[in-house]
Amino acid sequence: MDAEAAKRPVTDQEIYEKIWDAIAERQIGPGTRLKEEQLSDIFSVSRARVRQVLQNLARDGLITLVPNRGAFVAKPSIEEARDVFFARRTIEERLVERLCSTIGAEGIERLRSHVDDERRAHSGGEVATAIRLSGAFHLLIAELAQSQILAGLLRDLISRTSLIMAMYQQKEVLSCGPDEHAAIVDSITARDAKKALAVMHHHLAHIENQLDLESERVVARDLEDILGL
Amino acid sequence: MDAEAAKRPVTDQEIYEKIWDAIAERQIGPGTRLKEEQLSDIFSVSRARVRQVLQNLARDGLITLVPNRGAFVAKPSIEEARDVFFARRTIEERLVERLCSTIGAEGIERLRSHVDDERRAHSGGEVATAIRLSGAFHLLIAELAQSQILAGLLRDLISRTSLIMAMYQQKEVLSCGPDEHAAIVDSITARDAKKALAVMHHHLAHIENQLDLESERVVARDLEDILGL
DNA sequence: TCATTTCAGATTGTCAACAATCTTTGTCGA
DNA sequence: TCGACAAAGATTGTTGACAATCTGAAATGA
């Protein structure tokens, strides 16, 4: 055991991300109950702070808060999953459209280098970082499109998407390869708004169509092993 | 004083709405500080619950939470205001587009009767309810479009819009009259997606263009008078 | 007179104990 | 044996008190 662990106080953000990671990486299965005391023991913080983090997770749709019952990892239905993708298409198509007319040279450079990073992680077999970078690509687009609000909304939707993929994505299919992202960047670079919109639409539809409606794997493991510091 | 007041416990939702109303109706000016203890006294609840409500208000962009400083009624800049309208156009144009192909007879009926209500409130001079109904119209569209997620996102944006209007709307100009709403309903009834989208775009742009960039009225009154039960 | 420091007051952040609620288990009777 | 009821245990919801932090004013010295 590490004696240092108790010294540096853990921030709420860190707790949030730790749980987020565990859910997105399929370590905690959908439907799993998250007891407040259990979490407060694991992270060595008071229940009050755990409670606050749980509220934030609930707001972002990763867990469900049932009054007097507690917190459960969300179990998005296939309808909710499709709704998430509908919302994402709505927002992201508009964002790339706008980007085509507003993006500058350094913006294009950031997109390109990001796709490069994705390529590296993908070919290196680092699944976890590949998934994370894939989400970050979409967030980068929102950031560059200079809409703080849509960027914030999209952040939530991407979190939800991670959970959905954890639930419904077929095992063998990895996250969207970086090629489609590259195609999006190309369209933006060419300032072809119509094409960029179409490519983004196709990209999101592609991911949605990979969903497997049958599977319902529930991996229930010991929380302490997964989240332990 | 009413002895009943202390009996029925007040729900968080009620506290939220009370503050929301006060902000949207311009009773609490932007920038006003909201002290936790002050609010907990007013509503006769513990600070912990006030704190939770404040978190929710901050999530919806109505107040700003500064660490170790407290909560202030948000002061959206004109850029943020434009961003809100950009986000609303993005979402609502898509929603009416979808409605044109999915709405049923009873949905159209609900829209029509809602516009009737608006007309009544508008000609009756009930400004507060007119504003509320105007927002509710947009929410109704989201609800009918059967996208839980976009409806939820739009709910937040409408809250923000109320605050923006409270800050920047010119005094004389009332909220958007019901006529434009009626035109939207007509387009949807005709199932003319292209026109519905255009009318919605025009409608939101119209509201945005009514903003007055100069004004910065700060109405600071005693909170207890405004929120008192 | 002005800038800096110090200190008091006020306000938010955190916590641990208590109350309310729900779930489970065990018991009783038909 | 099965269902209903009751008590016990576990878990969440709420509260008040304490600690950490910030603001503003008074005091000090150049």
Residuewise pLDDT in 10s, chain B (229 residues): 333 343 456 888 888 988 888 887 778 888 889 999 999 988 888 899 999 999 999 988 899 999 999 999 998 888 899 999 999 999 999 999 999 999 999 999 999 999 999 999 888 888 778 878 888 999 999 999 999 999 999 998 998 988 888 788 766 555 567 889 999 999 999 999 999 999 999 999 998 988 876 655 544 455 555 555 4
pLDDT value, residue B225: 54
Name B65's bridge partners. B71
CB contact under 8 Å between B150 and A86, yes or no, is yes
Q: For residue A136, give every residue at least 6 positions away whose Cβ sits within 8 Å of its Cβ, in sequence order, or none.
A: A114
Q: A90 and chain B: CB distance < 8 Å anywhere?
A: yes
Q: Over chain A, what is the mean pLDDT?
A: 85
More confident residue, A182 or A129: A182
Task: Check whether residue B7 has its CB closer than 7 Å to nucleic acid strand D.
Answer: no
pLDDT value, residue B166: 79
Where are any strands of DSSP class E within chain A? 33-34, 63-66, 70-73
Edge to edge, the sheet with strand B33-34 lists B33-34, B70-73, B63-66
| Cα–Cα distance measured from residue A195 to residue B165, given in angstroms and rounded to the nearest whole number | 36
Residue whose C-alpha is closest to residue A170's, from A120, A211, A135, A221: A211
* Portion 48-77 of A in contact with B at CB < 8 A: 48, 52, 55, 59
Q: For residue A200, how far is the Cα from the chain centroid?
A: 17
DSSP label at residue A72: E
Q: Testing the interface with B: which of A57, A65, A97, A149 to mutate, by most B Cβ within 10 A?
A: A149
Alpha carbon dihedral A41, A47, A49, A50, in 10-degree steps, equals: 60
Q: A97 and chain B: CB distance < 8 Å anywhere?
A: no
Here the tokens at position B225 are 């008078």
Region A93-100: mean pLDDT is: 96
More confident residue, B66 or A166: B66
More confident residue, B215 or A110: A110
pLDDT value, residue A174: 56
CB contact under 8 Å between A147 and B87, yes or no, is yes
Bases of chain C within 7 A of a CB of the protein: 11-17, 21-23
Here the tokens at position A80 are 């909710």
Here the tokens at position B131 are 């504003």
Contact between A32 and A73 under an 8 Å Cβ cutoff? The reply is yes
* Single pTM value for the model: 0.86
pLDDT value, residue A215: 59
Task: Check whether residue B209 has its CB closer than 7 Å to nucleic acid strand D.
Answer: no
